[in-house]
Structure 1
Amino acid sequence: MPYNWLLYALLVAGCLLLLTGCGNGTRVESDGDAFYRGTDDTGAEVVVTERPHRIVSLGRGMDEILLGIAPPEQIAGLTSTVDDPGISCMTEEARAVSVKLKDRSPERVAALDPDLVLAIDGIPKELVDSLRDLGIPVFVSRTPNNLEDIFARIETVGRLIGQEENAAARIAEKRALLADVERRVGDIPEEERPIVVAFAFSGVFGRKDGLFDDMCRRASLRNGVAMAGLTATTAVSMEQVVALNPDVFLLPTWSTEGKTTEEFREKLCRDPLFIHVKAVQENHLYVVPDRYRYNTSQNAADAVYALARAVYPERFADEK
């Protein structure tokens, strides 16, 4: 092989090796100076010198992952929303952790003496930088776009905190649940799958190629607003929703302003814009709790199950 081509091949191989570590990181067993060394989802290097025993989470999805794979004594703090049953799937488990952060200032987080902080990409960069300046390892995780992203996130957290076996067990449990949904509804042809439009109290949600879109796909449903073209940068009008003539409307359940599902249902049914839509005419107005629909932890698999069971109850008749 000519020298130039050999050099090129070595460079490509080196780049690929670096890329395979991005966002996941590796447990270091041989160099003796670190328990974990890798890069987070922003490309920042993360080095954890020894197995963490005072972990702080700065995101509800991370809260639930930690509660699912780590003992409470390994967790120094979670976010305050993990106690809210309207948006959290693990309020009972969260009771075992006494500190719940509402104030996420650098001073408040540092006061917990963490040896690892798990953050999400919505956390201000200034907070992350401040914690790192204090010598605290911070791993920033990108918001998952699908269930596979979530499973990869759980694997990474498992390696970060030395709970690989628990992480693998949790993933296997949720994959089994998804396989059960697939067994029940996976045979439904694409063109026969109901068109579903999900509402938040502020409007429709479920952008194309986002996590809820993947949930719908796995539940053998068609996500209406994705079909209409909703993306992170492109809005969808209510007229576009009506034009789809959706089979099902999913109603919101969680509000910080005291709004209720029943009030939303009544307003929707009275709205002249929707009175001829199939979902309203056939009263296919279903409720799947927002703690599932907005979930970014292992419990997103339960959202798939809940969606499928709400729309196809006859295929879950054997379930109590």
Structure 2
Amino acid sequence: MTSDRYTRSLTAALLTALIVLMLAAGCTGTEQGTTVTQGGQAAPVTDGFGRTVTVPSSPESVVCSGSGCLRYLVYMQAQDLVIGVDDIEKRDSAIEGRPYGLAYGSQFKDLPLIGEFRGKDDPEKIIAINPQLIFKTGSTGTAYGTSAAEADKLQEKTGIPVVAFPYGSLRNDAEKAEMYGGLRTMGQVLGKQDRAEEVIAYIEDTMADLERRTGDIPEAEQKRVYVGGVSMAGAHGIISTEPAYPPFLWVHAKNVATGLGTAHADVAKEALVDWDPEYIFVDVGTLQMDGDGAVGELKNDAALSGLSAAKEGRVYGVLPYNYYNTNYETVLADAYFVGKTLYPDRFTDVDPIKKADEIYTFFIGKPVFGDLNSQYRNLGFAEIPL
């Protein structure tokens, strides 16, 4: 009897120990040093840099590292999963140029800090709040980009799965593939694949609509245009432009700065005077500069005030979209205003302001055009008086 009781006790102890070991094994993955916590069964995913990362299915707590990462999470309608933010989300700024910040800034501002903006993470702060997952992104080829090595380093330091991907853009097919890949990766990890496809389809459908409206305009009738004061890591003056400005591309306007690359460029004032575009669009983010930036230059610089567009009242404000990376909803909204301004007969059914709020509501859940534009003296989507 004593022997039987001893055997049963020993068996029970061994079973208990085995269960404890199994539970522990279920909470820790060895692949790439990842730690999988609550939120469902672990599953491997391939991120935007080809890294295989084991992540919890349907994670319930995440943080976003890098410029634009939190914006994508809002696009995925998953902002309530965020439990920590970088320092740009906690700042009190006179102007908030990010639509997602206008919509959810008060919610994000009260969350714990995970590090500095542009992906300068503090691993100890991240560990302290213990998210189940870290998303990390940045623009390829810039000082604010990220890489597989940086993702591995952050994952190793925190013991938390890091899913990283390039931010991408809509400037060309290669960067568009990066963007769509990032959205799909985030959607897969969050169990929001349908929303990711919905966002991608909305972008494609919007660009297709602009193409249908303007694609048959003969080259000789396409307007010659310039956009100045383009925001890039802050406000800039009239010489700041984008040679591949998407709203111009999508409505078949001739950008006089074409040929200077695909990203941001500064042009010589003499070149702008020589080009003498028919229409000038001004990124109203320039108003943050002393003397009103590009607007003040067009008013007060003798050479620039002699431009045809300035003399004949063809200078218009567009909303800035480069604010902590690209706000794609604003890019699309700007395109409709540009199209309506240049080719009004092809946009007779479009009210650019109503269209903008339709776009903002789809991407971020709230119609924020009025709040955004009021920060720029309501000069967005309007003729700028000189």
TM-score by length of 2: 0.61
1:89-238 correspondence runs (5 A): 89-90=99-100, 91-97=102-108, 98-99=110-111, 103-104=115-116, 105-106=121-122, 107-114=124-131, 115-121=133-139, 122=144, 128=151, 130-133=153-156, 134-146=158-170, 148-149=176-177, 150-200=179-229, 201-202=236-237, 203-208=239-244, 212=245, 214-227=246-259, 229-230=260-261, 236-238=267-269
1:242 alignment partner, SS class: helix
Task: Pick from 61, 80, 83 the counterpart of residue 76 of structure 1.
Answer: 83
SS of match in other structure, 1:53: coil
| Cα drift, residue 287 of structure 1 | 0.9
Q: Is the 8 A contact 1:177 1:305 kept in 2?
A: no
Q: Of 59, 69, 74, which aligns to 1:67?
A: 74
| Rounded Cα–Cα distance in structure 2 between residues aligned with 1:168 and 1:279 | 41
**In structure 1, what is the equivalent of residue 285 of structure 2?**
254
Q: Give the AA of the match of 2:317.
A: V
> Equivalent pairs: percent with the same residue?
21
Q: How many residues align?
A: 282
Does residue 276 of structure 1 match 2:277? no
Aligned partner of 1:286 among 316, 337, 340: 316
Task: Give structure 2 stretches of 5+ with no counterpart.
Answer: 1-39, 230-235, 352-386
State how far apart, in whole Å, the 1-side matches of 2:127 and 2:186 are: 20
Once the 2 structures are TM-superposed, how far is the Cα of residue 132 of structure 1 from its aligned partner?
1.8
- Tell me the amino acid that sits aligned with residue 45 of structure 2: R
Q: Tell me which residue corresponds to 2:65.
A: 58
Matched letter for residue 35 of structure 1: A
Q: Say whether the 8 Å CA contact 2:136–2:151 is kept in structure 1.
A: no
1:40 aligns with 2:72: no
Aligned CA distance change for structure 1 residues 266 and 54 (closer, same or farther; 3 Å): same
Change in CA separation of 1:70 and 1:234 when aligned onto 2, cut-off 3 Å: closer
Equivalent residues of 1:36, 1:48 under 8 A apart: yes
Once the two structures are overlaid, the 10-residue window that deviates more, 83-92 or 269-278, is: 83-92
Q: Distance in 2 between matches of 1:34 and 1:191?
A: 58
User: What secondary structure, in the 3-state scheme, does the structure 1 residue paired with 2:211 have?
Assistant: helix
Secondary structure (helix, strand or coil) at the match of 1:140 reads strand
CA distance in 2, matches of 1:47, 1:300: 34
The answer as to whether partners of 1:33 and 1:49 remain within 8 angstroms in 2 is yes
Look at both structures and tell me which one has the larger radius of gyration over its CA atoms.
Answer: 2
SS at match of 2:216: coil
What is the SS of the residue equivalent to 1:216? helix
Q: Which amino acid in structure 2 is aligned with residue 146 of structure 1?
A: L
- 1:179 CA drift (Å): 2.8
How far 1:312 moved relative to its partner? Answer: 3.2
Counterpart of 1:309 in structure 2 is 340
Mapped partners of 1:170, 1:193: distance in 2? 30
Gaps of 5+ in 1: 1-31
Write the letter of the residue equivalent to 1:196.
V
1:235, CA displacement in angstroms?
A: 5.3
In the superposition, the TM-score normalised over structure 1's length comes to 0.72
Tell me if the contact between 1:58 and 1:123 (Cα under 8 Å) persists in the aligned partners: no
SS of the residue aligned with 2:130?
coil
Q: Deviations over 1:166-200 (max 9, x none)?
A: 11122223333323322322222234322322222
CA contact (8 A) 1:195 1:246 kept: yes
Shift in CA distance, 35/112, structure 1 to aligned 2, threshold 3 Å = same
Structure 2 distance, partners of 1:62, 1:196, is: 32
Do the aligned residues in 2 keep the contact of 1:170 with 1:298 (CA within 8 Å)? no
Measure, in 1, the Cα distance between the counterparts of 2:56 and 2:114: 28
State the SS of the aligned residue for 1:295.
coil
Superposed CA RMSD in Å reads 3.5
Q: 3-state DSSP class of the match of 2:304?
A: coil
Which residue identity does 1:178 align to in structure 2? M
Match of 1:226, SS? Answer: coil
In structure 1, C-alpha distance between the alignment counterparts of 2:189 and 2:277, rounded to whole Å: 43
